[in-house]
Amino acid sequence: MNEGEVVLTPEQIQTLYGYASRGDTYGGWRYLANLGDRYADDAAAIVGKDANLNGLNLWMKKGVENLWDDTVGKKIRLMCISVFWIVVFNL
């Protein structure tokens, strides 16, 4: 196993299905981050609700949103987030 890599138990996968079915992208990433997944920690910092973020994390989120919105548009950005969860969790 590589550093920062997390192997999930069946119970943890079921917990993630719960986050996905509720559409709680931020919660799912935070859950994985709390298990030690470093990528998930970065992802949570970008996809979180503004109320959950501060300082650099909020600045990064807005920067990523603006980049996507300026290049492909907001509708595509939001659709990509939904498609990611559908593909990953087979919803």
Which amino acid is located at 16 in the chain? L
Q: Does the pTM of the predicted model rise above 0.75?
A: no
Domain-embedded: residue 60? yes
Number of domains composing the chain: 1
pLDDT bucket at 13, cuts 50 / 70 / 90: confident
- Nearest-angstrom CA–CA distance, 47 and 28: 10
Indicate whether 3 belongs to any domain. no
Interval 51-66: pLDDT, tens: 767 787 778 778 877 8
Residue 4 in any domain: the answer is no
The tokens of 70 are what?
């300026």
Token pair 């939904």 is found at: 82
Within-domain flag for 1: no
Q: Average pLDDT, stretch 64-72?
A: 78
Q: Does residue 5 belong to any structural domain of this protein?
A: no
Which three-class secondary structure state does DSSP give residue 14? helix
Domain around 75: 10-89
Any idea what the Cα angle at residue 54 is, between residues 18 and 58, rounded to 5°? 80
Give dist(CA 31, CA 13) in Å, integer.
11
66 occurs within a structural domain: yes
